[in-house]
Amino acid sequence: MNVKKGDHWLRASGPAFAVALLILVIAGGTAGYMLTDGRPLWDAFYMTVLALTTVESPAHLSRAGQVFTVVLLLGGVGAALYTFTLLATVVVEGGLPKRLQQRRHARMLESISDHFIICGYGRIGSIVAQQFRRQQIPYVVIERDADRVHAAIDEGALGVEADASREDVLKRCGIERARGLIAAVGTDAENVYAVLTARVMRPDLFIVGRAETEDATTKLKRAGCDRVISPYQIGAVQMAQTAIRPAVVDFMELATNADNVELAMEEITIAPQSALANQSILHANLRQRYGVIVIGIQRKDRRMEFNPEPDTSICPSDKLVVLGRPDSLKRLEAEAAGAPD
């Protein structure tokens, strides 16, 4: 406690202490010249100022000239030190680095594309961001709480301190170039407003919203959400399934874990120009060529076909839900996009 009080007193009385120290040094120097060389008071004071400022004495100066020289030297050195200290404070305490960081941040927001916009960085939003980081998916965080924005930036994210329901904010975060939007703000009402704004700006944007109640689920769907997730409902179902079928839950966690290098589950969209389009699963020969298992097919109308038969056709814009090794899935994804095998 004594050390903290001493530091506080030193910071509070810093300028006064510096002035007192300077006066003490000048007085000591003046007294020293008077005692050692027998100089008169003014001459001793004048010599002290010259010594402290490391300036040679101008020749043949009158008393008035000497007085002016003393004032000029003390004023000039004081101004120089003050200017240097002020510039050093601006650089060290974050003035210049902060401006450079803001400019860099703005340039990154202008150039980012194919990213997700995460509205809210609370418990849900931070977990979503963590999953995106693991899979190296670009994203931007919009959060009104300054501490949460700083936490997101410290973890390597692009963060904007603003209201996610404002059009200018979403435009600043590149909604025109975004891949999707996650509405995970603190309340259902805020999520509805954010989804409404985003849907008006981008009718084709994929939007996922968080809901706490059944009523909010309905409103978010009406506002334009493609998917609505209730964390409480999903958590309860997960707990029940873990108690009833622990092996199945363990398998699903293994297959959907981004850190798993042995097995992964992925959805792969079939492009119209792909060689896989309009072929059957049997003729596509996916199991032998890529070592993957087709678990399901989501049709263009979002209808899901589970465990499809070998003669099931693969149509353009279908999404294959497949299970396999990550490297095999990447090769399959390249062919599904129309790239050569």
189-205 pLDDT, tens per residue? 999 999 999 999 999 99
Task: Note the pLDDT tens digit of each residue in 89-100.
Answer: 766 665 566 677
pLDDT at 234: 86
CATH number 3.30.70.1450 given to 262-336: yes
* Token pair recorded at residue 261: 């290098």
Residue 75 has pLDDT above 50, yes or no: yes
pLDDT at 119: 95
φ, ψ for residue 80, nearest 5 deg: -65, -45
pLDDT at 24: 80
pLDDT at 181: 96
Q: Do domains 11-92 and 113-235 have the same CATH topology?
A: no
pLDDT at 259: 65
Q: How far apart are CA 173 and CA 159, in angstroms?
A: 9
The CA angle 160-164-166, to the nearest 5 degrees, is 110
pTM of the model: 0.62
Overall residue count recorded for the chain in this entry = 341
With beta carbons less than 8 A apart as the criterion, state whether 321 and 294 touch.
yes
Structure confidence at residue 46 as a pLDDT band (50, 70, 90): confident
Could you please state the CATH topology (level 3) that the domain comprising 113-235 is classified under: Rossmann fold (3.40.50)
Domain layout of the chain by residue ranges: 11-92, 113-235, 262-336
199-222 residues labelled b (16+ CB within 10 A) or e (exposed): beebeebebbbbbeeeebbebbee
Task: Note the pLDDT tens digit of each residue in 153-165.
Answer: 888 889 999 999 9
Structure confidence at residue 40 as a pLDDT band (50, 70, 90): confident
Give mean pLDDT, residues 225-242.
Answer: 89
Give Cα 14 to chain centroid, integer Å.
38
Matching residue, tokens 């959400």: 225
More confident residue, 261 or 102: 102
The CA angle 208-231-222, to the nearest 5 degrees, is 40
Element of type H or E holding 298:
strand 293-298
Give mean pLDDT, residues 294-301.
Answer: 90
Could you please state the CATH topology (level 3) that the domain comprising 11-92 is classified under: Helix Hairpins (1.10.287)
